[in-house]
Amino acid sequence: MRLYLASTSPARLALLRAAGIEPVTMSPDVDEDAVAAAEAERLGEPLTPHHVVELLARAKAQAVAADGAERGIDGLILGGDSVFVLDGVIYGKPHTSDRARERWHTQRGRTGQLYSGHWLIEYVDGRPGRAVGAVAVADVTFADDLSDSELDAYIKTGEPLFVAGAFTIDSLGAPYISRIEGDPSTVVGLSLPTLRRLVLRLGYDWPSLWNTGTSALPD
């Protein structure tokens, strides 16, 4: 069973590869801010973190599925999205050094929540079929002894500018995280246990997605 990843995130790709899956990556071309704003306007109230990540994960998967026949898709399409929450405030990607620095000054030594949304669409026989979704949450506690000079050096790498919450646990930001409560892969942006459960709900078994061809994998 082939997995199509509706994301260009290097972290999600590396995570799936480490789990024995080489997905086909496809850019979903979704205006995330516009989708979230339209949904909030429809509901007449702000979106919860759970709603945001599930909504955007679904939008990304559906965007790829919309022209699945033209793309030659035959398998499962996965959309994902993540946000970080501290003091009830939702934080996505900071995009600028100033915003990243401001966020780290706020979250240093504290605990927030990383929400990762997942949406999985079965696309076989040239058309979309069943779809399932779920959200995973993990608590993230940041080091309380992170100096301003360390923070400046980290921001200069550019890494925190384009990830939810302005941090990573699978690259340069890992030493600045003191504790994770929950599935660690959730914080990378894709909960592997959650994805496995979604695959099972659609009637497929997890090893059917393995395709990296390593000697440890079955033929």
Query: What is the pLDDT, as a whole number, of residue 213?
Result: 64
Query: What is the pLDDT, as a whole number, of residue 106?
Result: 95
- Give CA angle at 104 (100, 106), nearest 5°: 120
Backbone angles phi, psi at 188, to 5 degrees: -70, -25
Backbone angles phi, psi at 126, to 5 degrees: 80, 15
Would residue 150 count as lying in a domain?
yes
- 81: annotated active-site residue: yes
Query: Which residues of 65-110 form beta strands (DSSP E)?
Result: 75-86, 89-91
Low-confidence ranges of the chain (pLDDT < 50): 215-219
Domain total in the chain: 1
Length of the chain: 219
Q: pLDDT tens-digit profile of 38-73? A: 999 999 999 999 999 999 999 999 999 999 999 999
CATH for 84: 3.90.950.10
CA distance 144 to 61: 38
The distance from CA 88 to its chain's CA centroid, rounded to whole angstroms, is 19
Residue type, 67: D
CB 123 within 8 Å of CB 198: no
Look up the domain containing 95 and give its range.
2-209
Q: CA distances (Å), 53 to each of 81, 121, 143, 159, 168, in order?
A: 5, 16, 26, 21, 18
- Give CA angle at 50 (209, 121), nearest 5°: 30
Q: Which of 74, 81, 145, 170 is catalytic?
A: 81
Query: What is the pLDDT, as a whole number, of residue 215?
Result: 40
In the chain, the N- to C-terminal Cα span, in Å, equals 14
Residue 84's Cβ-count burial label (10 Å; 0-12, 13-18, 19+) is buried
Comparing C-alpha atoms, which of 4, 62, 54 is closest to residue 29? 62
Query: What is the pLDDT, as a whole number, of residue 217?
Result: 47
Query: What is the pLDDT, as a whole number, of residue 219?
Result: 47
CB 117 within 8 Å of CB 198: no
Q: pLDDT tens-digit profile of 107-119? A: 999 999 999 999 9
Query: What is the pLDDT, as a whole number, of residue 44?
Result: 97
pTM for the model? 0.91
- Stated as kind and residue range, the H or E segment containing 122 is strand 111-124
> In DSSP terms, which residues pair with 84 in a beta bridge?
91, 114
Would residue 135 count as lying in a domain?
yes
Would residue 196 count as lying in a domain?
yes
CA distance 62 to 147: 43
Give me 132's structure tokens. Answer: 């399932």
Would residue 218 count as lying in a domain?
no
Would residue 130 count as lying in a domain?
yes
Would residue 217 count as lying in a domain?
no
Query: What is the pLDDT, as a whole number, of residue 92?
Result: 85
